[in-house]
Amino acid sequence: MPEKKQFVATPEAKAQAKQLRLFALLAWAAAIAGEVFAILKLLHNDMLTWLIVATVVILALSITGSLLWKKSNRLDPASEKDKFRFFVQNQLGAIIAAVAFLPLIILIFTNKELDGKSKGIAGAIGIVALLAAGIVGTDFNPPSIEKYTDEINAQTDSVKTLNHGVDLVYWTPGGEKYHLFQDCQHIKGREIHEGTVQQAWEERKIGDNELCKTCERRARKQLEAGETPAAEPVAEPAGQE
């Protein structure tokens, strides 16, 4: 039985993830700074409009940070073995949302300088913003090294079944899927790379890779008809399974 492939984020993917995380942290820092400013300067009846504007800006910054952070996690996922780090890394966006909005909402409802109507308006907007930022910041299907490893091995087995035992696929640098046929209509005429399923995952650095459905249907029809395999065996580069 062949040794199972292990997902390892490439240095390029790690570098890109690090950059995205830096931008995410900057966006979150700006959101928290906006919260502090709103608390110190805007909790007055005559500043209600600016308080609402500040809440919307904080929401935009919080969501931007969460989207960047999620993308970084798909490039360089955490391991499920360290449960605390895995949770924090994947749900940090939701945690930041709570930090950015909860203190502001509490102070809106407890502030004596705001009348009842102003509290209702500003508080409702703050709660909606908190929920929106929390939902976007929560990763309901977090990536992990183990999940990627399982997917690579399952997809490798599937490709070999369709490809007469050959682990060979094609992809384009910016594409979202890999292909069994170099002349597939979705990549024809574009820059095409070839290699194993694992190489397709590693080179494209986008996470959540999958086989082109058009290629899959075509390969199944060829198998049923007993036609030539989609790809001929080639020697795998040194260091690849």
For β-strands 169-171 and 193-195, DSSP reports them as: antiparallel
Alpha helices in the chain (DSSP H): 11-41, 48-75, 83-110, 116-137, 145-162, 197-204, 213-225
pLDDT digits (tens, 9 = 90+) for 31-89: 999 999 999 988 888 898 999 999 999 999 999 999 999 999 999 999 999 999 999 99
State residue 237's pLDDT score: 39
What span, in angstroms and rounded, lies between the C-alpha atoms of 152 and 29? 36
What residue type is assigned to position 66 of the chain?
S
| CA-angle at 205, arms to 179 and 209, nearest 5° | 40
pLDDT greater than 60 at residue 234: no
Cα–Cα separations (whole angstroms), residue 140 to 12, 70, 72, 137: 26, 11, 15, 9
State residue 207's pLDDT score: 60
Phi-psi region of 40 (alpha: psi -120 to 50; beta: other; left: phi over 0): alpha
pLDDT greater than 70 at residue 229: no
pLDDT digits (tens, 9 = 90+) for 126-141: 999 999 999 999 999 9
State residue 241's pLDDT score: 34
pLDDT digits (tens, 9 = 90+) for 168-181: 999 998 788 999 99
* φ and ψ at residue 169, rounded to 5 degrees: -135, 170
For β-strands 177-178 and 210-211, DSSP reports them as: parallel
What span, in angstroms and rounded, lies between the C-alpha atoms of 89 and 17? 12
Tell me the average pLDDT of the chain.
89
State residue 233's pLDDT score: 43
Confidence of residue 228 (pLDDT cuts 50, 70, 90): low
| CA-angle at 154, arms to 150 and 155, nearest 5° | 115
